[in-house]
Structures are given as structure tokens and as C-alpha cells.
Amino acid sequence: MVFANSTLAKNHDDHPLWPAGHLRLVQLHHFPGHDRIVEQSEGAIPGPLIGMLAAWLTLIFASFGYRAPRNSMVKGMFILSSLLIAASVYLVLDMDIPFHGPIQISDEPLRRALAVMQL
């Protein structure tokens, strides 16, 4: 255990160690600015990775389209599948920053947890 030799982990009466959840609460409670870091989180997906993903998908679609017959069914399926893949990449990029953008998650549970930690 990480806190086994720490004076924070032992009671003054030499009782056994506190539960791990309580230590985590104490650790987060003593970390200044924790709420600002979580609220100001930026996206973590690097731009070059997105560029490589786009180039890879372009090459895959180009190689499939090179040998495919030229009819309306194939063209429609290529358009539909490219739109679905673009929508899924957009969804991943949008949810990379969860508190901003068209699709957002609520920050109310985070605020309630921080209020509990303020004691």
C-alpha cells in the first residue's frame, strides 16, 4: 500500500490504517485547484493522430473504389459508409471535450462531489 508508512495513513492511537476510499478523499481534498483542472480540461486526442486516421480512411476507400464496379448501388454505399465513418469520428472528437460543444455532459455530479469534498 502506498500510504503504509505515511503518518497521514495512521491514526494517532495506532489504530489500523484508514480505508483506502477515505485516504483518497483526504488526498483529493488537500489538492488545491482540483476543480479548476477538471472543468478546464482540453481535448486529449492529438492532431497528427486525426490526420493519420483521415489519410488511412482515404486510402482504404480509394483502394475499395478502384476495383469496384461503377454503378449506383456501389456509389450509394460508398457515400453512406463515408458519412457514417465521418459521423463517428466527429462524435469521438466532440466527446473528447465533454463540457463544451453541441453534445455536452452535465457537470452537476462533479459539482456535488466537490461540494462533499469541501467538508
Instruction: Please write the tens of the pLDDT for every residue from 43-86.
Output: 788 889 999 999 999 999 889 888 889 899 999 999 999 999 99
Distance, in Å, from the CA atom of 51 to the CA atom of 60, rounded to the nearest integer, reads: 14
CA distances from 21 to 14, 24, 42, 57 (A): 19, 5, 27, 44
The pLDDT value given to residue 115: 85
The answer on pLDDT for 14 being more than 50 is no
pLDDT over 80 at 3, yes or no? no
